[in-house]
Amino acid sequence: MKTQSRLEKVLASGALAVTSEVGPPRGAIPEKVKEKASLIKDHVDAINVTDNQTAMVRMSSWAAGVIIKQMGLDPILQMVTRDRNRLAMQSDIIGAYSMGINTMMCLSGDHVKFGDHPMANGVFDLDSIQLVQAVRKMRDEGKFQGGADIKSPPKMFIGAAANPFADPFELRVMRLAKKIKAGADFIQTQCIFNLDKFEKYMEMVCDRGLDEQVHLLAGITPMKSAGMARYMKNKVPGMDVPDDVIKRMEGVSKEEQPEEGIKIAIESIERLKKVKGVHGFHIMAIEWEEKVPQIVEKAGLFPRPVV
C-alpha cells in the first residue's frame, strides 16, 4: 500500500470501486456539502470534491473535502492547474493531507472562458501530467518542485482523468500511458455513452498492458432527458453521445425520460463490468446525487465492501 487511501484499499482488494462526486456550493454553506455527501455516503467508496468546476468560483475543494472528511467519509481532492501555480498547489496538498485527505485527482481544468470569470488569467504553470508528477515526487521522493526536501511528505493516492473520446483518438491511450508514467495510481474517465468506442479504447489500453499498471474507473452519467443528451452531444467539448442513445431517450415520453436515463446508466455499468481493465465506476450524477444510490444498487454494486 502506497497510502492510507480507502479507495486504494478497495481497488487492491480486487473489488469494483465506486466513486461519485460533490460539487461545493457557491457560498459559505458547509451544510450544503454535508447534505450532498450524506445522500451518497453509503453507496460509494470515495467522493470527488470538484475544484471550481466549469471555471466557476466555488468553495475551495480542499475545504469542502475537509468537511466531508469530518463526516467520516473519504473525499478525493480534485485540483486543477488553471487557478494556482506550483507553489500554491504544493502548499494546498500538504495542507489537505494534514487535514486527513489522502486521495486526489490531478486535472488541468476547464478553460476560464467557459466560466463566470472569463477575464481571469489561466495560470497553467503546470499541466495535469506535470501535477501528477509533482505529487508523486512529493510522496515518493519527498521533494518539492524546487528540489527542497519535505518534512513528512504527503502520501497521496494519485488520480488523473482520461477522456477516451476526445481527438485524436489514437493519442488517447498514449496520453493515458503518459499519465501512468508520470505516477497516476487510478484513472477516472469522462462519461461514457459510446460503449463500442470505449471498448475499443480499453482493448488498446490492455494491449499495452496499461490495465496492469493503473486502476481505471469508468465514468457514468445518468441523463435526465433527451434534451440533456443532445446538449451533451453538441455543446460539451470532447463528449461522444451516439445518435442511438439520443434516439432511445427521445423514444419515450418526457416523464419517462429520467427513468430511461437511469436505465441506460445501469445497463452501461452491467456491460462495462465485463470489460477487461475496468476496475470500478465513477458516477457523475450532475445535480442529481439522490439517484446515485439507486444506480449503485440496481447495478449490483451494493453493498460496498468494507476495508
Partner 1 sequence: MITAEQKPLKEIIEYISPYDRILLVGCNECVTVCAAGGRKEVGLLASALNLHSLKQGRTIDIKEITLERQCDPEYVEELVSEIDRADAILSMACGCGVQTIAERYKEKPVFPAVNTKFMGASQSQGIWVERCQGCGDCLLGITGGICPVARCSKHLLNGPCGGTSDGKCEIAPDVDCAWCLIWERLKALGMEKRYEEIMEAKDFRPAGGGGPRKIIREDLSL
Residue of 17, 18, 106 lying closest to 61 (CA atoms) = 106
Choice from 162, 214, 232, 285 touching partner 1 (CB under 8 A): 162
- The C-alpha atoms of residue 54 and residue 52 are separated, in whole angstroms, by 6
With respect to partner 1, which residue has the nearer C-beta, 66 or 180? Answer: 180
Q: Which stretch binds partner 1 (CB under 8 A): 97-105, 171-179, 265-273, 274-282?
A: 171-179
Position among 167, 196, 255, 287 found at the interface with partner 1 (CB under 8 A): 167
Residue 306 beta carbon to partner 1: minimum distance, rounded to whole angstroms? 34
| Shortest distance in whole angstroms from residue 178 CB to partner 1 | 6
φ/ψ of 49, rounded to 5, equals -115, 115
- Least spacing, CB of residue 95 vs partner 1, in Å: 20
C-alpha cell at 203: 482493448
185-204: contacts with partner 1 (CB under 8 A): 190
**Closer residue to partner 1, CB minimum distance, 181 or 254:** 181
For residues 20 to 49, the per-residue mask of contacts with partner 1, x marking binding by CB under 8 A and - elsewhere, is: ------------------------------
Residue 17: Cβ-neighbour burial (10 angstroms; 0-12, 13-18, 19+) = buried
As measured in angstroms, the least distance from the Cβ of 55 to partner 1 is: 11
Instruction: Name the pairing type of β-strands 17-22 and 46-49.
Output: parallel
What sections of 26-126 are H helices per DSSP?
30-40, 61-70, 86-98
133 near partner 1 (CB under 8 A):
yes
Contact 79, 131 (CB under 8 A): yes
Q: Judged by CB under 8 A, does residue 182 bind partner 1?
A: yes
- Residues in the chain, total: 307
- Which of positions 66-105 make contact with partner 1 (CB under 8 A)? 82, 86
| Contact stretch for partner 1 (CB under 8 A) within 1-9, 20-28, 148-156, 173-181 | 173-181
Nearer to partner 1, 73 or 182 (CB): 182
For the CA atoms of 65, 71, 76, 78, the dihedral, rounded to the nearest 10 degrees, stands at: -20
CA nearest to 155, candidates 5, 19, 47: 5
